[in-house]
Amino acid sequence: MIESGYYPLGAEHDPHAPWNEREIPEREFNVVCSQTLSKNVTVITDSYIPGDKGIDYEDGIAEGWSDPDDTSNTNWAEEYHDNGYHTPLQLLELFKQFLEENKRNGLVFKSPKFTEDIIEECKDWVEDETEYIED
């Protein structure tokens, strides 16, 4: 057999050879991005029952004590929002509105396409679960 000069002898029809590999076409796949986020914040509220406090005297020495405040009926979601905090979804919506308003005024971040891509990225997020817990 005569060598072609292009391929090693007998390899011109090898399906694993780089010159015979087929290009895989791009396809769309549905992907879910699920993330858990948390943030520790300070909330000011009067929605609690103060715990008892007192002083015990033992051998002439005063020792103060206090029971914890009762927040079992506190609506932490309401208190969180009443303190001016926003959920990540609300922040995304505000950010999207900010970008859209600036874009209308001719201000873009990096480039018009990048700004439009970020605006699109802010859309269609779904809140799977939200929980407010006293720390």
Q: Where do the structural domains in the chain lie, given as residue ranges? A: 37-121
User: How large is the average pLDDT for residues 82-109?
Assistant: 95
What pLDDT is stored for residue 5 in this prediction?
A: 59
Nearest to 106, CA basis, from 115, 97, 96: 115
Backbone phi, psi, residue 57, to 5° = -115, 125
pLDDT in tens, 12-42: 777 777 777 778 899 999 998 888 889 899 9
pLDDT in tens, 75-92: 999 999 999 999 999 999
- Strand positions, DSSP E, the chain: 53-58, 61-66
Lowest model confidence (mean pLDDT) among 9-13, 73-77, 128-132: 9-13
